[in-house]
Structure 1
Amino acid sequence: MTARLPLDEQLVALRAALSRNDTLLEVLRRTATLGLPGWYLTAGCLFQTVWNVVTGRPPAEGIKDYDVFYFDDGDLSWEAEDKVIRAAADVFADLSAEVEIRNEARVHLWYEQKFGVPCAPYTSTEAAIDSFAATTCCLGVRLEPDGRWRVYAPHGLSDMFGLVVRPNPVLAPRAVYEAKTERWRRQWPDLTVLEWPAAT
């Protein structure tokens, strides 16, 4: 069982699983050409590819979009972020998948309006990944200039390979976690979804 392998072997298994999703590999390669500071491909496209592989589904099945985070606190204007988004749209224009690019240095400017709770400014892309609603989702991958894969996984990979979804109550409200997990359970009924912790 991959979830019980040593971490170095899990990393090999992660790359093997993700490499079965041709769209994901293409997004990685093309994002690497954009020169975005501190970027990662992150969120659903990663763990859902692994869930698909583990459960014998087509690797890209049910993946809604491919999220790319970067971090540039030198210019927090929407215009600067939009310039990056438009440049990326040209790079990904012929891909059938939707690629969403966001500057995580700007999240605190709009998060409360969207989710109802304030968000302190992030200090890095990694800090943004740390705040996902489930620890299982806290994963980022990027290609380094020398072709190496850089993997950021602050909670490890065992839950992801074991189809366990664990809450991460550091920022996102309980309702966000429950809405996401309800949707995921419909697509991957083998998931074990742990309950949001009771208030203390």
Structure 2
Amino acid sequence: MTLDLSYKHAANQYFESTPASEWTYPGYLEKMQPYFNNHFKLSSLKSTWKKRFNEHLREIERDQVGEKCTFASDLLNQKGLKATELWNQFEKKRALQNQQHNTNIDIQLSTLRVMSTSATCQEDELAGQMVASSISGKKNVKHNKNAKRQSDEYPEREKQKSRKTSIENSHQAECSYRLNNVLNVQESFDENDEEEVIQNVE
């Protein structure tokens, strides 16, 4: 298990600034709390920091003389060093921090979901506008095509209309011509009959 080695400086300060008669395992841990890794299991933390405490005591026992050496030896010979209250407080504090962290994450996730929902609604609205615009555009295109087709067909319709009128006029003229011929023939017959009647009377 790898730990931040900067804790060693803080540990040395504890043993140097605290009178040897006041050295305790809970007191040592209290100074070391800023260096606890919150991601480690509690059992791992307990094992690691008890080991660190004993390592410091051995260094003092080896390098120091007098009172410090004596107290270090006494602490090393003590069995069952415990700091139950400190670890319980640490565990409660860590649980509270984790709860606050998870709450913050939930708030951020909820905010993102709301923003995502809002963005989706805006996207759907914009997409709907695009579809409406497309349909309108298609209608305009269709209208323009119809107008163009009507414009293109207008001269042809005028030609057909003119041709029809011409044919009708021609047919009417022919009918008039034939009618005039019939009338002329009838008139001729009437004149001949009248001459014959006059001759017979004479």
Does TM-score exceed 0.5, indicating one fold? no
Q: Which has the higher strand share?
A: 1
- Could you state the TM-score of these two structures normalised by the residue count of structure 2? 0.23
The structure whose RCO (Cα within 8 Å, separation 6+) is larger is 1
